[in-house]
Amino acid sequence: MKVRKAVITAAGWGTRFLPVTRSQPKEMLPLVDRPMIHYAVEEAIKSGIEQVIMVTAMGKRAIEDYFDRGYELEHFLEWKGETALLKQMKEISGMVDICYVRQKEQHGLGQAIYTARHIVGDEPFAVMLPDDIIFGKVTALQRMIGIYEEYGAGVIAVEEIAQEDTTKYGIIEPRLVSKGIYEVLSLVEKPEPAKAPSRLGIAGRYILPAGIFDILNMTPPGKNKEIQVTDALQLLLKQQKLYAYEIEGTRYDTGTPLGWLKANMAVALKHDDFGPELRKYVKKLL
């Protein structure tokens, strides 16, 4: 069955960005000239996704407004003769079919995914964490959909991480299948470095079967007393195989202020309009 739907989780409190996230959704923080969540939606579209299911929460209305039609703004831009900007605004509101569902209680990524079960229905689907922004010649999600179609089983994105960072990621026990593709033998959430089965950490992209919803419903709280999707995937392994794709390209973790700053700097330096001038300014600062 074709992967047509993507669940983008955007319901977290954004506590690492307080106090700015008291009133500003973390996902709407700018990465150069567009909000971070724009990149996730754009990747979904490039990967052939037909419908995006956005899991939000109270205080996230700005996300809905961003992807909606802004008739007053469009009229103003048309009146000013800003045809290029007008075209861009219309393109944003028409990017893809987006629907929204609210996660009313914050009990982890597993519960956020479970919240979308009625809209996903009985078909495989993608999950995207907008904190992880991945650039490459082919989108990570598109490559993962191809692997799903080839092997007929769920796929998770992984990246080799530093040994000391295993406490920040779900870690897999891999068996190499072909270059960059592994069969997942087991998973563990945020293990201590000495207990980590590998250095391959989950990198914010999943292709999951619809059966994961029943498993999430019976998955007990794990690390941080949250429903961990990693724990649910470990249970899924008792029923079917699971594969991992080691991402190609560059991943930016914008989930922390430092990671967000690094991503902004890296993307801005490559920007056609102001990259060259910014490069001169950075050299001056150094």
Which superfamily does 5-254 belong to?
Spore Coat Polysaccharide Biosynthesis Protein SpsA; Chain A (3.90.550.10)
Decide if pLDDT at 223 tops 80: no
> How confident is the model over 153-168, as a mean pLDDT?
92
What is the tens place of the pLDDT at every residue in 36-58? 999 999 999 999 999 999 999 88
What is the tens place of the pLDDT at every residue in 100-112? 999 887 778 888 9
For residue 130, the SS3 value is coil
Residue type, 201: G
What is the tens place of the pLDDT at every residue in 248-274? 989 999 999 999 999 999 999 988 888
Of 184 and 226, the one with more pLDDT: 184
CB atoms under 10 Å from CB of 6, counted, come to: 31
Dihedral over Cα of 41, 43, 44, 48: its sign? positive
User: In this predicted structure, what is the pLDDT of residue 8?
Assistant: 95
Alpha helices in the chain (DSSP H): 36-46, 61-67, 71-80, 83-93, 109-115, 117-120, 140-151, 212-218, 229-236, 257-269, 275-285
Give one DSSP letter per residue of 177-189, joined into a string.
EETTEEEEEEEEE
Residue 242 main-chain phi, psi, to 5 deg: -140, 140
Decide if pLDDT at 219 tops 90: no
pLDDT confidence band for 212 (50 / 70 / 90): very high
Whole-model pTM above 0.85?
Answer: yes
Residue 162 main-chain phi, psi, to 5 deg: -70, 145
Q: What ranges do the domains of the chain cover? A: 5-254, 256-286
User: In this predicted structure, what is the pLDDT of residue 273?
Assistant: 86
3 touches 126 (CB < 8 A) = yes
User: In this predicted structure, what is the pLDDT of residue 126?
Assistant: 96
Dihedral over Cα of 271, 203, 24, 92: its sign? positive
pLDDT confidence band for 23 (50 / 70 / 90): confident
> How confident is the model over 217-234, as a mean pLDDT?
81
Instruction: Share the mean pLDDT of the chain.
Output: 90
User: In this predicted structure, what is the pLDDT of residue 181?
Assistant: 95
**CA distances from residue 20 to 40, 187, 201 in whole angstroms, order as listed:** 21, 34, 29
Instruction: Name 74's bridge partners.
Output: none
pLDDT over 70 percentage in the chain: 99
| CA atoms within a 13 Å half-sphere pointing along the CA-CB vector of 47 | 34
User: In this predicted structure, what is the pLDDT of residue 209?
Assistant: 94
Decide if pLDDT at 222 tops 70: no
